[in-house]
Amino acid sequence: MEKIIKEPKQARSVKSFEKVVQAGTVLLSDGKHQGFSILAISQLSGVSVGSIYQRFESKEKLYLVIQNEILNRLDKEATQQFSKDLRYDTEVAAVHDTVQRFAKHVATHEVLLGGMIARGMIDPQANMRGHLSCLYIGNAFKAHLKQHIKSPTHPDPELAFDMSFRIVFSCLWRWITEQDTPESSRYLEFDAMVQELCVVCERYLLS
Which CATH number is 40's domain given?
A: 1.10.10
Under the banding of pLDDT at 50, 70 and 90, the label for residue 1 is very low
User: Using CA atoms, how far apart are residues 173 and 193, in angstroms rounded to an integer?
Assistant: 12
| Residue pLDDT, tens place only, 111-168 | 889 889 988 999 999 999 999 999 999 999 999 999 999 989 999 999 999 999 999 9
Name the residue among 20, 33, 22, 1 with its Cα closest to residue 125.
1
Q: Same structural domain for residues 58 and 74?
A: no
Q: Which residue has the higher pLDDT, 23 or 183?
A: 23
Percent of the chain with pLDDT over 70: 92
Cβ atoms 141, 165 nearer than 8 A: yes
In terms of residue numbers, what domain contains 95?
67-206
In a domain, 4, yes or no: no
pLDDT digits (tens, 9 = 90+) for 148-160: 999 899 999 999 9
What is the domain count for the chain? 2
Here the CATH number for the domain that contains residue 183 is 1.10.357
Q: State how far Cα 184 lies from the chain centre.
A: 25
Residue 3 within any structural domain of the chain: no
Q: Quick check: 177 pLDDT over 70?
A: yes
State whether 95 and 43 are in the same domain. Answer: no
Is the same domain home to 182 and 202? yes
Q: Is 160 found in the same domain as 112?
A: yes
